[in-house]
């Protein structure tokens, strides 16, 4: 398993995440967090570990920076959150995994 903390450039900010990849991943599951928990959530990490045991890679990341999350309105900004998810997915598809 290859595990690393990553920084994802999106818009004019960077988002933090954890990428875990087995040697030959069967696929990649993206866990995106917009409010209430972060990519460090014990429950989500537990679920990710079970998926990794089955040969799947996982990316856990936060849709909002710490500063953005301080404004609770951002947690319900569906356009912002969905745009971020698309941007991160496109960024990830360009990475040499």
What is the pLDDT tens value at each position of the chain, 97 positions in all?
899 999 999 989 999 999 999 999 999 999 998 765 688 889 999 999 999 999 999 999 999 998 898 999 999 999 999 999 999 999 999 998 7
The pLDDT, as a whole number, for residue 57 is 97
Residue 44's CB is within 10 A of a number of other CB atoms, namely 16
Indicate the DSSP class of residue 76.
Answer: G
The pLDDT, as a whole number, for residue 37 is 64
The pLDDT, as a whole number, for residue 66 is 86
Radius of gyration of the chain (CA): 13
């Amino acid at each position: 398993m290859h595990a690393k903390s990553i920084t994802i450039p999106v818009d004019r900010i960077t988002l933090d995440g954890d990428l875990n990849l087995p040697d030959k991943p069967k696929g990649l599951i993206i866990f995106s967090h917009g409010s209430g928990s972060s990519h460090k959530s014990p429950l989500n990490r537990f679920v990710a570990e079970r998926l990794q045991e089955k040969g799947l890679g996982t990316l856990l990341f936060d849709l909002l920076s710490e500063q953005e999350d301080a404004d609770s309105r951002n947690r319900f900004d569906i356009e912002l959150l969905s745009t971020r998810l698309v941007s991160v997915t496109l960024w990830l598809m360009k990475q040499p995994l």
